[in-house]
Amino acid sequence: MLFFATILFSQLLMVFGRSIDRSKSSVTTRRSLPDGFTLRRSTAANLHPAGIFRFGFNVDSQNQTALHASLVATSDPLSSEYGQHLSKSQVGQWDFGSWVAQLSAPAPESVKTVLGWLQDHGLTPDAVSPSGNMLTVRMSLEKANSVLNANYSAYVHAATNTTIWRTLSYSVPAHVDEHLSFIYPTTQFIPPPVSAAVTTHVTDQATGNVGQIAACAEAITPQCLQKPYNIPSTPATTPGNGIVVGGSAAQVTDLNDLKTFLAQERPDIASAPFTMQLVNGTTVQGTGTSSATTAVGVQYTAGLATNVSTAVIYPGQEDDADGVQGLLDITNSLLAQDTPPLVFLTSVQYEEAAFHTAPEVAQSLCNAFAQLGARGTSVIVTSGGSGDTSRAMFPATCPYVTSVGSTQGTNPERAADFSAGGFSNVFPRPAYQLDAVDGYLRQLGNSSASSTNTTGRGYPDVSAQGAQFVVEVGGQVQSVNSTSASSATFAAVVALLNDRLLNAGKPPLGFLNPLLYSKGLPGLNDIISGSSSGPNGFTATTGWDRLV
């Protein structure tokens, strides 16, 4: 019997790996408040009046290497796996209790450990992200103070006068912490996203001649882009080819603006297939006044991608102004779909340095974009820019998105002064752009690059017109200079290319960069020429391979 007992014990050891010491805690402390934030002094109890907050418990994914390798193989036009986008269950599908072999999921044991610990505190996640790596829990800050041994207080980001609720310290039992990548929000102090749009109000007179080529030098309309970029105005015909534009709670979309815009600029498509949704699938109606950034994104996708279904997706409850929760919500809701949209466009942009207190959050978002790419979604973001255009911008610096900068003018079409470009200080240079960036740096010589860290991921990947776009905002015609204008234009072109590919029985483009840096846009023409002909073909545009 003794022998038997010994065997059992050793088997148990094999199952559990090692004994768990539940008395140890792992403490995370921020020694000082990050620059730009101050404690909000308050005489009343320093707790949020609205009460319930959402907390994301992010569980370590086992190993992203396989996902990234698969993404590279399916997006490299020279690979035999090109275009073989992965299904939801291949990328990661968490189903309470059952596991499917997958590339991007955490170890079942990790999720179970975190779930068990939450349940010990009477907490049940009300949402689990598709790959199981994010457990969302609702609780009051008081409860969070007790569960996390924290001290949540209100902090003001001075430059934007926005308030966030954070703690300078928290602790989690060590046997749980080893499975957690991060808990959000805790000690992350991320300044709000920066605005991409520069606008000026223009008189109706200035746009009175819309659509006439003579006016394109002063005011860009969809028709001004269709001509030089040879974007067809004929309707796309394949179902299931959609563009989703990421919205934020703070940026509503005014449907009347889109209507007016289309009536004036695309009278041939007065009723574009356009919807607004919440992350949970509910359709909503727009109220309030759009921002120029949202308006340009909506109007130039719906206005150029003729008959491609376009939707704006809004996050759920956002507790504070940093927008991170919203972006996580949106990417997770897209990943949860069996057939995610073929194009995802977001103009949310942060200074990459804004994540210095939370590099793991930027990494997690970038991994979510990689998962979308692996599923066949082209993730398109702006290169950013406003103020100092030399600061690295996220998510443009994520290697798994296509980042779009702005050009202006014709003859020559040149980089726009408001458009950012540069190198990541976080993400290393991906293989697909090694040659292009090396070539660029050699051309630049040693002097210009001397003060910049040029070892990381370079961006933007492509550029398109972005200045003086005619946009309808709150019933007024405005002129917008913005990289959002460029990314919307590019997103529309990608959606129309997908329509050609789908009609030819080919897979959609998915993650674009390995293609853009090898066969490039002329290569796209090659891919398409076998399937379509006629007067509306695409031609290579100038500047799209430019690394500004």
Ligand X SMILES: *[C@@H]1O[C@H](CO)[C@@H](O)[C@H](O)[C@H]1NC(C)=O
Residues belonging to the binding site for Ca(2+) are 526-527, 543, 545
Total number of residues that touch ligand X (CB under 6 A): 31
Q: What is the DSSP string of 354-392?
A: GGTT-HHHHHHHHHHHHHHHHHT-EEEEE---SS-TTS-
Name the residue among 1, 330, 281 with its Cα closest to residue 134: 330
Query: Binding of ligand X at residue 70 (CB under 6 A)?
Result: no
Residue 438 token pair: 């090396």
Query: Binding of ligand X at residue 446 (CB under 6 A)?
Result: yes
**Of the candidates 239, 267, 412, 535, which one interacts with ligand X according to CB under 6 A?**
239
How big is the chain by its Cα radius of gyration, in Å? 24
Measured in whole angstroms, how far is the alpha carbon of residue 320 from the centre of its chain?
18
Task: Give the shortest CB-548-to-ligand X separation in angstroms.
Answer: 15
Which C-beta is closer to ligand X: that of 11 or that of 448?
448
Q: How far apart are CA 257 and CA 234, in angstroms?
A: 23
User: In which residue are the tokens 């491609």 written?
Assistant: 308
Task: Give the shortest CB-456-to-ligand X separation in angstroms.
Answer: 3
In this structure, how many other beta carbons lie within 10 angstroms of the beta carbon of residue 435? 11
Q: Name which of residues 293 to 322 contact ligand X (CB under 6 A).
A: 307, 316
350: β partners: 394
Q: Mark 339-378 with x for binding to ligand X (rule: CB under 6 A) and - for no binding.
A: ----------------------------------------
**Of the candidates 237, 390, 448, 529, which one interacts with ligand X according to CB under 6 A?**
237
Which C-beta is closer to ligand X: that of 194 or that of 198?
198
The amino acid at residue 95 is D
Query: Binding of ligand X at residue 161 (CB under 6 A)?
Result: yes
Which C-beta is closer to ligand X: that of 73 or that of 278?
278
Longest dimension (CA), the chain: 97
CB 290 within 8 A of CB 473: yes
Query: Binding of ligand X at residue 233 (CB under 6 A)?
Result: no
Query: Binding of ligand X at residue 200 (CB under 6 A)?
Result: yes
Query: Binding of ligand X at residue 481 (CB under 6 A)?
Result: yes
Query: Binding of ligand X at residue 484 (CB under 6 A)?
Result: no
Query: Binding of ligand X at residue 428 (CB under 6 A)?
Result: yes
Query: Binding of ligand X at residue 33 (CB under 6 A)?
Result: no
**Of the candidates 171, 260, 337, 425, which one interacts with ligand X according to CB under 6 A?**
425
**Of the candidates 77, 83, 235, 543, which one interacts with ligand X according to CB under 6 A?**
235
**Of the candidates 66, 100, 159, 449, which one interacts with ligand X according to CB under 6 A?**
66
Q: How far apart are CA 236 and CA 234, in angstroms?
A: 7
Exposure string of 247-264, with b = 16+ CB inside 10 Å and e = fewer, is: bbeebbbbbebbebbbee
Task: Give the shortest CB-184-to-ligand X separation in angstroms.
Answer: 19
DSSP 94: E
Which C-beta is closer to ligand X: that of 11 or that of 282?
282
Q: How far apart are CA 434 and CA 547, in angstroms?
A: 12
Query: Binding of ligand X at residue 250 (CB under 6 A)?
Result: no
**Of the candidates 42, 89, 212, 280, which one interacts with ligand X according to CB under 6 A?**
280
Query: Binding of ligand X at residue 455 (CB under 6 A)?
Result: yes
Closest-approach residue to ligand X (CB): 456
Query: Binding of ligand X at residue 38 (CB under 6 A)?
Result: no
Q: Name which of residues 492 to 531 contact ligand X (CB under 6 A).
A: none
Name the residue among 183, 164, 104, 80 with its Cα closest to residue 374: 104
H or E segment at 139? strand 134-140
Task: Give the shortest CB-118-to-ligand X separation in angstroms.
Answer: 22
The contacts of residue 122 (CB under 8 Å, 6+ apart) are none
Which C-beta is closer to ligand X: that of 211 or that of 316?
316
Task: Pick the stretch among 60-68, 84-92, 254-262, 522-530 that binds ligand X (CB under 6 A).
Answer: 60-68
Query: Binding of ligand X at residue 536 (CB under 6 A)?
Result: no
Query: Binding of ligand X at residue 278 (CB under 6 A)?
Result: yes
Q: At what angle do helices 520-529 and 483-503 cross, to 10 degrees?
A: 30
Query: Binding of ligand X at residue 49 (CB under 6 A)?
Result: no
Q: How far is CA 416 from CA 468, 481, 534, in A?
A: 11, 9, 33
Q: How far apart are CA 190 and CA 194, in angstroms?
A: 11
439: phi then psi, degrees, rounded to nearest 5: -60, -45
Q: How far apart are CA 505 and CA 452, in angstroms?
A: 45
**Of the candidates 25, 90, 151, 476, which one interacts with ligand X according to CB under 6 A?**
151
Task: Give the shortest CB-407-to-ligand X separation in angstroms.
Answer: 10
Say if residue 217 is exposed, middle or buried (CB neighbours under 10 Å; 0-12, 13-18, 19+). exposed
Binding footprint of ligand X on the chain (CB under 6 A): 39, 63, 65-66, 151, 153, 161, 198, 200, 235, 237, 239, 278, 280-282, 307, 316, 408, 424-426, 428, 445-446, 453, 455-456, 467-468, 481
